[in-house]
DNA sequence: GCTTATAAGTCAGTATTTATGACTTAGATG
DNA sequence: CATCTAAGTCATAAATACTGACTTATAAGC
């Protein structure tokens, strides 16, 4: 076990939202139910969010893997291929099949790193920026509706929990991107 | 005066969490950045959550599709095959390839509906319940850690946003399951 | 300079998940 | 009885991912 021995009842009851009645009797049940509900909601939310851009992608002969690729190259311009592999957590071959067409069709550009010329730093071309933006807008509509409906404080909680679900490697990227945003400088990955 | 185009700033600024400084100059940028960060976090959170049970599934020759199936059959016992198709939003053939082995190997049971005997109502066997529970516990660990770290109010916000991201069809299921929970009665789908 | 290590690209072969479309069987329903 | 519906099935194909081996170019240590 890890540092959090949370088998069933011994946990701190610190996450109870007041939205359930019935305290006392089924406390354990309610706690389990809360997590199952979270699974349900994550499933539905992701299903509906990822379905949204599919039509546009399909028109171009692309799929979700291409979208992920465009998203991350857009997020971290001049990213190394190896870093993209780390983020996507797929194999080099899987990436090649996706990245190849994006490069051939001029959505993604490669430039040799100047400090290390083995590296192929990835950026979006104008065409790539345009496509990524279209895809982004589609998902943003869904997210914006959700944010509006849920309200500001909820959004903060949303982010806190998502961050909590993310392992160290992902958190480093998130922190790094926030640092880039704050300081305007690109920090090492 | 301002160097940012005015037509882009006319949105309602009602979801701003106070976690960013720098108001005024890059308001539009911050609002877009918020959604992009949400995409990042959803990607990482789902990547790490879905990776967690993969090893156990792989031991049994199953994949994530089998997990989804077990999850939903466990969530809504006596569910019709057609309802499962609606939830998973896949084709009958895709489901068959996943559901078939689960039935053959005794994880999922079928019983004919008594009001309509064309229906095959799905439930988990004891074996299925046991497997689903193991898978659940793995994901619960991640979720529990996240909930603990984020705190109770954050969890409520998390749920509110996820619900906001979900389309009508999914919301109906969520509402229905809450109703089942509250009243103990199974309501129609 | 030579050796070793690294970044990226590539090839061959395979597995998984999903899709489309056509069809069958059983049972409900008018 | 005719028709609709729930489920299961077959054939085919696409997208996404995997393993393992190999090449090329470049960097870095000795």
Per-residue pLDDT, B29: 66
What is the band of A3 on the pLDDT scale with cuts at 50, 70, 90?
A: very low
Do the Cβ atoms of A150 and B142 come within 8 Å? no
- How far is the alpha carbon of A30 from chain B, nearest alpha carbon, in Å? 10
Beta partners for B109? B123
- How far is the alpha carbon of B178 from chain A, nearest alpha carbon, in Å? 9
Per-residue pLDDT, B30: 63
In whole angstroms, D12 C1' to B55 CA is: 31
Is residue B74 a contact partner of residue B129, using CB atoms and an 8 Å limit? yes
Is residue B61 a contact partner of residue B90, using CB atoms and an 8 Å limit? no
Task: Give the span between the Cα atoms of B72 and B87, in whole angstroms.
Answer: 8
Crossing angle, helix A168-183 and helix A81-88, to 10 degrees? 130
Task: Give the span between the Cα atoms of A112 and A116, in whole angstroms.
Answer: 8
Q: Any chain B CB within 8 A of the CB of A166?
A: yes
Q: Exposed, middle or buried: residue A150 (CB in 10 Å: 0-12, 13-18, 19+)?
A: buried
What is the percentage of chain A residues whose pLDDT exceeds 90? 62
| Mutation site, B75, B89, B134, B158, interface A, largest A CB count within 10 A | B158
Q: Residue A14 pLDDT > 80, yes or no?
A: no
Contacts of B174 (CB under 8 A, 6+ apart): A37, A40, A41, A44, B163, B166
Q: Residue A10 pLDDT > 70, yes or no?
A: no
Tokens of B38: 């949400």
In whole angstroms, C18 C1' to B66 CA is: 13
Per-residue pLDDT, B28: 62
Per-residue pLDDT, B152: 87
Q: Which residues of A touch B144 (CB under 8 A)?
A: 4, 6, 11, 35
* pLDDT tens digits along A102-149: 999 999 999 998 999 999 999 999 999 999 999 999 999 999 999 999
Q: Which of A49, A34, A140 is nearest to B165 (CA)?
A: A49
> Which nt has its C1' nearest the CA of A80?
C7
Average pLDDT, chain B: 82
What is the band of A55 on the pLDDT scale with cuts at 50, 70, 90?
A: confident
Per-residue pLDDT, A40: 94
* Ranges in chain B, pLDDT < 50: 1-24, 186-189
Q: Any chain A CB within 8 A of the CB of B51?
A: yes
Is residue A162 a contact partner of residue B41, using CB atoms and an 8 Å limit? yes
> Which nt has its C1' nearest the CA of B117?
C27
Q: Exposed, middle or buried: residue B160 (CB in 10 Å: 0-12, 13-18, 19+)?
A: buried
What is the percentage of chain A residues whose pLDDT exceeds 70? 81
- Which stretch of A3-7, A74-78, B125-129, B162-166 has the lowest confidence by average pLDDT? A3-7
What is the band of A171 on the pLDDT scale with cuts at 50, 70, 90?
A: very high
**HEC string of A98-159?**
HHHHHHHCCCEEEEECCCCCCCEEEEECHHHHHHHHHHHHHHHHHHHHHHHHHCHHHHHHHH
Is residue A84 a contact partner of residue A122, using CB atoms and an 8 Å limit? yes
Q: Any chain B CB within 8 A of the CB of A146?
A: yes
Per-residue pLDDT, B182: 78
Instruction: Using the C1' atom of nucleotide C26, identify the protein residue whose alpha carbon is closest.
Output: B118
| Mutation site, A1, A132, A145, A159, interface B, largest B CB count within 10 A | A159
Tokens of A175: 């922190």
* Per-residue flag: A81 CB under 7 A of strand C: yes
> Which nt has its C1' nearest the CA of A119?
C7
Beta partners for B123? B109
Contacts of B121 (CB under 8 A, 6+ apart): B78, B79, B80, B110, B111, B112, B113
Per-residue pLDDT, A19: 42
Per-residue pLDDT, B9: 35
Per-residue pLDDT, B19: 42
Tokens of B163: 């619900």
Do the Cβ atoms of B161 and A146 come within 8 Å? yes
Q: Any chain A CB within 8 A of the CB of B152?
A: yes
Residues 104-133 of A with CB under 8 A from B: none
Instruction: Using the C1' atom of nucleotide C9, identify the protein residue whose alpha carbon is closest.
Output: A96
The backbone region for B24, taken as left when phi is positive above 0, alpha when psi lies in -120 to 50, beta otherwise, is left
Chain B residue closest in CA terms to A178: B37
Per-residue pLDDT, A140: 93
Q: Residue A21 pLDDT > 60, yes or no?
A: no
Instruction: Using the C1' atom of nucleotide D5, identify the protein residue whose alpha carbon is closest.
Output: B118
- How far is the alpha carbon of B164 from chain A, nearest alpha carbon, in Å? 4
Per-residue pLDDT, A11: 38
Per-residue pLDDT, A13: 40
Tokens of A58: 């399909």
């Amino acid at each position: 076990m890890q540092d959090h021995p949370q088998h069933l009842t011994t946990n701190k009851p610190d996450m109870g939202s007041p939205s359930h009645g019935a305290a006392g009797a089924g406390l354990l049940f309610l706690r389990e139910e809360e997590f199952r509900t979270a699974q349900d909601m994550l499933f539905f939310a992701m299903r509906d969010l990822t379905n949204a851009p599919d039509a546009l992608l399909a028109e171009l002969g692309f799929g979700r893997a291409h979208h992920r690729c465009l998203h991350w190259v857009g997020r971290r311009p001049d990213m190394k291929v190896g870093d993209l592999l780390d983020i996507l957590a797929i194999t080099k071959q899987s990436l090649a099949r996706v990245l190849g067409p994006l490069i051939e069709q001029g959505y993604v550009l490669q430039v040799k790193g100047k400090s290390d010329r083995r590296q192929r730093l990835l950026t979006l071309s104008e065409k790539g920026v345009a496509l990524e933006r279209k895809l982004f807008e589609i998902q943003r509509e869904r997210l914006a509706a959700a944010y509006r409906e849920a309200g500001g404080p909820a959004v903060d909680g949303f982010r806190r929990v998502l961050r909590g679900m993310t392992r160290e490697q992902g958190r480093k990227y998130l922190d790094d991107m926030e640092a880039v945003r704050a300081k305007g400088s690109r920090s090492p990955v």
